[in-house]
């Protein structure tokens, strides 16, 4: 993985296929996943760009599709949730990759005593995944990563760790944002378009790698090592850049 180049991305074009992470990319991060704010100008930007590019825009997030839908409120928008485990295509069909329920239950039960001792840690049960957030207790980060790795080795056959900003998530192996992008690109209206993916953390690296392999535009938001080819500094810059597709 390389340091992100300081090269700004090229001007976006309406004949591209847009894949957008949500938290840290379109929305500023908050103390908890439930505390983020979705402003009306962002909703208008997404709706306008989705229409202008012929529907070739999808949100690709670690959130559940139901959560994305409640916040974004655009019923025709393609949504990939839980890092690709859930995917709603452009026609509204829902595709789901199942999780081994016994393994997930064993890990959740094992985390119970820790959560009782450390109320600043938040366990988010997303149905298909388990995400342990430590944003309110960053000093526990190294411990959380070690513990989740140990639980994965004990109970996690067929599962893998997904690391993000102040969160460690256990999810089914072999499905990620890169595979979700690949599935979209095999379908209309994304097919045969240049793909662009914008993300901000380690959860997005496989998406960047998929887009890079296809000669597309990969954009890292903020600092840090990444395989992305371009960088934007923050959420405001992402929104401005996307708006250029509508004004250029």
Catalytic residue selected from 21, 176, 201, 204: 21
- Give a three-class secondary structure readout of 227-243: CCCEEECCHHHHHHHHH
Indicate the helix (H) or strand (E) that contains 104.
helix 101-117
How many beta carbons lie within 10 A of that of residue 31, not counting itself? 12
Q: List C-alpha distances in Å: 67 to 26, 27, 227.
A: 15, 14, 29
> Is residue 21 flagged as an active site residue?
yes
Could you give the count of Cα atoms lying within 13 Å of 125 in the half-sphere of its Cβ?
A: 10
Q: Can you point out the beta strands (E) in 97-227?
A: 122-125, 130-133, 159-164, 167-172, 194-199, 217-221, 225-226
By DSSP bridging, strand 122-125 and strand 130-133 are antiparallel
DSSP-derived 3-state class of residue 174:
coil
Name every residue whose Cβ is closer than 8 Å to that of residue 49 and which is 6 or more positions away in sequence.
18, 57, 242, 245, 246
Taking alpha carbons only, the member of 9, 5, 8 closest to residue 196 is 9
Active site (catalytic) residues = 21
């Amino acid at each position: 993985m390389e340091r992100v180049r300081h090269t700004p991305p090229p001007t976006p074009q309406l004949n591209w296929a847009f894949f957008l992470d949500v938290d840290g990319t379109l929305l500023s991060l908050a103390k908890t996943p439930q505390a983020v704010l979705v402003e009306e100008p962002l909703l208008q930007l997404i709706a306008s760009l989705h229409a202008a590019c012929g529907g070739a825009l999808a949100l690709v997030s670690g959130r559940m599709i139901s959560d994305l839908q409640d916040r974004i409120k655009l019923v025709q928008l393609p949504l990939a949730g839980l890092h690709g485990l859930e995917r709603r295509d452009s026609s509204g069909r829902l595709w789901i990759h199942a999780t081994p329920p016994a393994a997930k239950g064993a890990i959740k039960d094992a985390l119970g005593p820790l959560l009782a001792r450390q109320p600043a840690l938040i366990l988010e049960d997303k149905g298909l995944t388990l995400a342990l957030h430590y944003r309110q207790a960053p000093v526990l980060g190294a411990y959380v990563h070690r513990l989740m790795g140990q639980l994965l080795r004990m109970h996690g056959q067929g599962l893998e760790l997904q690391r993000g900003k102040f969160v460690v998530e256990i999810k089914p192996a072999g499905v990620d944002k890169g595979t979700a992008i690949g599935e979209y690109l095999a379908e209309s209206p994304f097919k045969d378009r240049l793909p662009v993916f914008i993300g901000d953390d380690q959860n997005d690296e496989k998406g960047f790698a998929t887009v890079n392999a296809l000669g597309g535009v990969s954009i890292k938001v903020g600092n840090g090592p990444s395989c992305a080819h371009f960088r934007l500094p923050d959420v405001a810059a992402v929104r401005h850049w996307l708006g250029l597709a509508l004004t250029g």
